[in-house]
């Protein structure tokens, strides 16, 4: 089959001793404080600045800067107006004992400056629909051909610009005085400090590796998350995430930074509930994706999975596949080519042309999510579900509001899980899916499907409940 994905080719030194500590019960306290203030003004400085990034549904963004001072800072004296960050909106400022965002401040040598993720300058991952409507940047050659295959081709084909990933960097100026925990004062300065380190939350927890299949000779770049407390005496599930066709790249970090599909499973909150391995291949073209049913490509992906299961204590009865658009198409191809490989599949914004090929999926466990406004995936996945029903599959179907928050999705997911059907099909209601700044069209409904789907905790929980 030829792939039908609309997106194929479219479109986070130890501190010096405190200076000028004051004595509260001595007549010399005022002079001690004065000396402390003087010393602070003379020697106080920012030792380093770290950019902190996070991944959101629409990609990786720079969301904070952590400044390391040479002594502990009084968090109660910091305000949003203490610092200016070039081209950015400061939303919160507090001290901390580490270069990390926190729910509240605590006196420490780090000052954390949180920044709005809505700023244009926040964005690090860029593609043709990251800002503004994708329809405004899509060329005619990237639309679906009569056969259902995008005539543009993946990874920037058909005149499309491939995704890019900028290095996180910010310029910070301390425009008001900063008070040390010892009572000293660091005066305002006109000199800007540029970040020299980057902490990419969750993304940095993945290893970038390469697999070569001995039989096919094919090579595949991939990202691997190993549970932080990995114990070879335990058995772990593994989630395979496969990106969309518009995210093909030679940079293996693209699939980790384009959205939540890969990183959500490795987040601390998810790992606390479902400790697992996460595998995220980076496809460089449609050839190694296997979304067209390409047998060598599918065998290479399966070989990679088996090689990891051989190396680590991975439970072969708890292997799961998920993907968006082209990644879902590849998941479907793997499902009917190797029907005993996965315990369950989470299919997002995908479809398959030849419905006779998907019949083996009737005996599998599937949760599919599409948007009614997606003119390819919605009818395509509906056709798959109708085919599976004819083959005897028990299916629960529902239409949900696509603008719900993760908390608001929870009761709907719980109600569907309570039905205990092996196959679940959710369509996100037309007119409720597209994010602000995009247009109500098929492409933007397609893209926004996975911006919603991977935030639904109940579906993720359902996946881990399944065993082969």
For position 216, what pLDDT does the model report?
Answer: 86
Residue 130: per-residue pLDDT: 55
Q: 145-194 pLDDT, tens per residue?
A: 222 333 223 233 334 578 999 999 999 999 999 999 999 999 999 999 99
Q: What is the reported pLDDT for 286?
A: 72
> Which of these CATH numbers, 2.60.60.20, 2.60.40.2180, 2.40.50.250, 3.40.50.12780, describes 1-201?
2.60.40.2180
Ranges of each domain in the chain:
1-201, 203-465
Q: Cα 136–142–147 angle (5° rounding)?
A: 140
pLDDT value at position 290? 73
**Low-confidence residues of the chain, pLDDT below 50?**
1-43, 131-159
Q: What is the 3-state secondary structure (H, E, C) of the chain?
A: CCCCCCCCCCCCCCCCCCCCCCCCCCCCHHHHHHHHHHHHHHHCCEEEEEEEEEEECCEEEEEEEEEEEEEEECHHHCCHHHEEECCCCEEEEEEECCCCCCCCCCCEEEEEEEECCCCHHHECEECCCCCCCHHHCCCHHHCECCCCCECCCCCCCCCCCCCEECCCCCEEEECCCEEECCCCEECCCCCEEECCEEEECCHHHEEEEEEECCCCCCEEEEEEECCCCCCCCCCEEEEEEECCHHHCCCCCCHHHHCCHHHHHHHCHHHHHHCCCEEEEEECCCHHHHCCCCCHHHHHHHHHHHHHHHHHCCEEEEEEEEEEECHHHHHHHHHHHHCCCCCCEEEEECCCCCCHHHHHHHHHCCEEEEEECCCCCHHHHHHHHHHHHHHCCCCEEEEEECCCCCHHHHHHHHHHHHHCCCCEEEEEECCCCCCCCCCCCCHHHHHHHHHHHHCCCHHHHHHHHHCCC
- The CATH number of the domain covering residues in 203-465: 3.40.50.1820
């Amino acid at each position: 089959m030829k792939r039908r994905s609309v997106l194929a080719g479219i479109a986070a030194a130890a501190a010096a001793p405190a200076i000028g500590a004051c004595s509260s019960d001595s007549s010399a306290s005022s002079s001690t404080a004065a000396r402390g203030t003087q010393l602070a003004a003379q020697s106080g400085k920012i030792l380093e600045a770290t950019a902190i990034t996070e991944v959101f549904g629409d990609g990786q963004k720079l969301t904070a800067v952590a400044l390391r001072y040479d002594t502990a800072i009084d968090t109660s004296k910091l305000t949003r107006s203490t610092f200016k960050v070039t081209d950015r909106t400061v939303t919160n400022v507090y001290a901390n004992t580490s270069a990390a965002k926190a729910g509240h401040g605590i006196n420490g040598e780090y000052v954390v400056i949180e920044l709005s993720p809505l700023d244009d300058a926040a964005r690090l991952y860029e593609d043709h629909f990251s800002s503004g409507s994708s329809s405004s940047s899509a060329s005619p050659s990237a639309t679906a051909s009569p056969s259902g295959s995008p005539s543009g081709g993946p990874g920037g084909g058909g005149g499309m610009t491939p995704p890019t990933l900028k290095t996180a960097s910010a310029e910070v100026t301390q425009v008001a005085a900063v008070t040390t925990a010892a009572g000293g004062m660091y005066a305002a300065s006109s000199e800007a400090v540029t970040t020299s380190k980057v902490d990419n939350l969750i993304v940095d927890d993945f290893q970038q590796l390469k697999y070569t299949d001995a039989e096919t000779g094919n090579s595949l770049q991939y990202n691997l998350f190993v549970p932080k407390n990995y114990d070879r005496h335990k058995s772990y599930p593994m989630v395979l995430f496969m990106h969309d066709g518009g995210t093909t790249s030679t940079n293996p970090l693209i699939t980790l930074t384009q959205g939540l599909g890969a990183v959500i499973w490795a987040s601390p909150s998810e790992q606390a509930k479902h400790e697992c391995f996460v595998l995220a291949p980076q496809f460089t073209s449609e050839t190694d994706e296997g979304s067209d049913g390409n047998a060598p490509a599918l065998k290479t992906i399966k070989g990679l999975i088996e090689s990891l299961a051989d190396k680590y204590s991975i439970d072969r009865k708890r292997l799961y596949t998920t993907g968006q658009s082209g990644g879902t198409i590849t998941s479907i191809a793997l499902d009917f080519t190797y029907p005993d490989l996965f315990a369950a599949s989470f299919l997002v914004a995908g479809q398959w042309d030849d419905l006779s090929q998907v019949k083996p999926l009737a005996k599998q466990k599937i949760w599919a999510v599409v948007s009614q406004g997606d003119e390819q995936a919605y009818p395509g996945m509906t056709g798959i579900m109708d085919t599976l029903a004819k083959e005897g599959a028990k299916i629960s179907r529902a239409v949900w509001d696509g603008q719900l928050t993760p908390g608001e999705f929870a009761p709907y997911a719980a109600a569907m899980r309570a039905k205990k059907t092996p196959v679940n099909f959710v369509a996100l209601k037309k007119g409720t899916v597209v994010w602000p700044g995009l247009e109500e069209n098929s492409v933007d409904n397609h893209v926004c499907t996975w911006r919603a789907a991977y935030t639904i905790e109940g579906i993720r929980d359902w996946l881990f409940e399944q065993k082969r």
